[in-house]
Amino acid sequence: MQDENQPHTDFSDGVEQHFDGDIEQQVALTHAQAEAIRRKKEKASKLSAFLITVVIHVAAILILTLIVIPAMQVDIPPIQARTAPPTEGTVDTAIRQQQVRTRPTTPSMSAQTITTTAPSASAFAPEVVFETETLELGMSVSLGLGLGEDGHDFGGLPGALQGRCTPQERLKRLREGGGMPGIENAVQRSLQWFQANQREDGSWGNRAYAAMTGLALLAYFGHCETPQSSQYGDTVTRGMTYLINLSQRNNGRLAVVGGNHWVYEHVKATYALCEALTFVRELHMDFPGLEEAAFKAVDLMIEGQHPSGFWCYQYNKGPNRQGDLSITAWHMQALKAAEYAGYDAEKIAPAIEKAIERVKWVQNEDGTFGYTGPSRSGNQRLVGAGVLSLQLWGLDQSDRSVRNGLRWINRNMRPVYSSNNTNLYAWYYCTLALFQRGSTYWSRWQDPMSRELMAAQNEDGSWRQEGGFATMGIQSTQSAGVDAPIYRNALNVLSLQAYYRFLPGTGDVR
C-alpha cells in the first residue's frame, strides 16, 4: 500500500504529473515537441492530398485525350490510280463536257474524274477538298489552280509557248520586251470581259459564232488558261465543247455562216482547237472529241488549198479566183498550231511550201504585199500578215521578203488608236512580226502600241471603237458588224500578249 505523501501519476485523462524543478521543464518541452510534430504531420498530409489530386487530374486528361482525339479524326478517302477502260463509239458531247471538267471553278470545290493518257491511265480524286493551291497525285497529272499555277514544268510544250504559262515567266517576258506591268492587268480585264459575255451554249458573238469563239479561246490560250484553270476553266471548257459539237453536226466544218466567208470562221476555230489540243495533251487530259474535231478541221484546210498555194473563199480551187493573202495568213498560223498539236507533219510540209512561194510572189518591190497578187499600191494592212506568215515557218530577216516587209512597217506604221488610219487587224500582224524581229524594230513599236491600247480600254475590260479608216482604204473592226466588240477585243488582247505568246527573235517560233 502506497504512502499518501508519495507523488502519484494518473494517466486516465492525460498526463498529470507532479514533478518539481527539472522534471516540470522536461514535461513542458515534451508538450512543445509533440505539438510541432503534430503540425508537421498535418502539413505533410495536406501536401500529399494535393499531389494526389493533381496526379488524378492529369491521368484523367490523358485518358480523355486518348479516347476523344481519335474519335474526332476523319478518314480521308485515298486517291486511287486505276486504268481507264478504252472508249468505243461516240458519246453525246453534252455528256463529254461533264467528263472533261477536271477542275472545279474554285479551289474549295470538289474534284471530279480526270481521264488521262499518261501511264497508269487515269487518276480518280473522290470528293477532294482543295485546302491548298495544288494537290499532287504522284503522277503526271496535278489538280492545281490551272496551267501555270499548279507546279507543272511544261517541259512537253513547244518552246515557243512556254513563256505564257506562269505569272513569273509572263512578267519576265514583259520586262525583257520593254513592256509595262500594267499590260497584264489589261489582259486580265479583257479575259474577264470575255467571260461575262459568253453565250449560254459556250460560244461568243452574234453571227459568226465559230470565228468569234475561236478568237476568244485564242485569247485565253495566249494567257495559258485551260480547262484546268481555276478562274476560267469552265469558260474555256464550254467554248471548246461548243466547237466540238459544231464539228460533229457539220461533218468537221467549223462554221455557222454561209456564203463566201465560212472559211474565215473555219480557220480561226481550227487554230483555237489545235492550241487547245496542245495544252490538253501536255496536261495528260482526255477531252473526248477534241483531237477528232481538230484534225478533221485541219484535213479540210489542207484539202481545200488552191493549187496556187493560197486559200480561197469556200475552198474554191477554180482558176478565176486563186485565193488571197488575208485568208492564207490565218491558215499558216493554224497549220503551225496543228504542227504543235501533233498533226502529220508530212501532210503540212507540202502545203506550207506552196504557201510560202505564193506569199513571196505577191510581195511588191517596196516591201508591201498584194491581196491576190503583186500590185502597184499594195495592201498596207497585209504587210504584217505577209511577214509573219514567213517568219512562222523559219524565215527571218536574212530573207529578202521578210527584211523588206519589216523595213516598210518600221518606216510607215505608227500606232495611234484615234487616227483615221488605224486598223487593228494590221496592228495585230505588225505587232507579232516586229516582236519576232526584235531589236529597234520592236522597241519603236511596242511602247506606243501598248500605251495606246491600254488608254483605249474601258473599265469593264472591253475596248472602244478605234479611229476608223481613211487613207489606208480599208475597213476598221466595224466591218465585223454585230460581232465587232468581240473581234476588237480579241485582236487587242492578242496584240498585248505578244510579249510572251511566242518565242521572240528566232525566226522559227518553235
Residue with cell string 511544261: 154
The DSSP code for 135 is E
Determine the average pLDDT of the residues in 109-114: 31
Per residue in 357-403, pLDDT tens? 999 999 999 999 999 999 877 778 899 999 999 999 999 989 999 99
User: Which of 40-54, 107-121, 477-491 shows the lowest per-residue confidence on average (mean pLDDT)?
Assistant: 107-121
pLDDT band at 35 (very low <50, low <70, confident <90, very high): low
User: Which of 39-43, 227-231, 288-292, 441-445 shows the lowest per-residue confidence on average (mean pLDDT)?
Assistant: 39-43
Distance, CA of 325 to CA of 346 (rounded, Å)? 23
Tell me the angle at which helices 182-196 and 167-176 cross, rounded to the nearest 10 degrees.
130
Residue with cell string 496542245: 278
Distance, CA of 280 to CA of 341 (rounded, Å)? 10
What pLDDT score was predicted for residue 259? 86
Domains and CATH numbers, the chain: 159-501 (1.50.10.20)
pLDDT band at 420 (very low <50, low <70, confident <90, very high): confident
**Contact (CB, 8 A) for 259 and 266:** no
Q: What are phi and psi of 476, to 5 degrees?
A: -85, -170
**Contact (CB, 8 A) for 176 and 154:** no
pLDDT band at 158 (very low <50, low <70, confident <90, very high): low
Cell numbers representing residue 97 in the block? 463536257
Statement: residue 495 has pLDDT above 60: yes
pLDDT band at 136 (very low <50, low <70, confident <90, very high): very low
Residue 465, C-beta contacts closer than 8 angstroms, at least 6 positions apart? 476, 477, 478, 484, 488
Statement: residue 133 has pLDDT above 60: no
What pLDDT score was predicted for residue 375? 86
Cell numbers representing residue 400 in the block? 529578202
List, as one string, the DSSP characters of 390-447: HHTTT--TTSHHHHHHHHHHHHH----TTSTT--HHHHHHHHHHHHHH-HHHHHHHHH
Residue 62, Cβ neighbours under 10 Å: how many? 10
What pLDDT score was predicted for residue 89? 36
Which has the higher per-residue pLDDT, 162 or 61?
61
Per residue in 294-321, pLDDT tens? 999 999 999 999 999 999 999 999 998 8
Per residue in 429-444, pLDDT tens? 999 999 999 999 999 9
Distance, CA of 488 to CA of 425 (rounded, Å)? 9
Statement: residue 260 has pLDDT above 80: yes
Burial class (CB in 10 A: 0-12, 13-18, 19+), 447: middle
Per residue in 331-352, pLDDT tens? 999 999 999 999 999 999 999 9
3-state secondary structure of 195: helix
Q: Give percent of the chain above pLDDT 90.
A: 56
What pLDDT score was predicted for residue 14? 39
Distance, CA of 475 to CA of 160 (rounded, Å)? 32
Statement: residue 61 has pLDDT above 90: no
Q: What are phi and psi of 379, to 5 degrees?
A: -110, 105
What's the one-letter identity of residue 423?
N
pTM of the model: 0.72
Statement: residue 6 has pLDDT above 70: no
Residue 38, Cβ neighbours under 10 Å: how many? 10
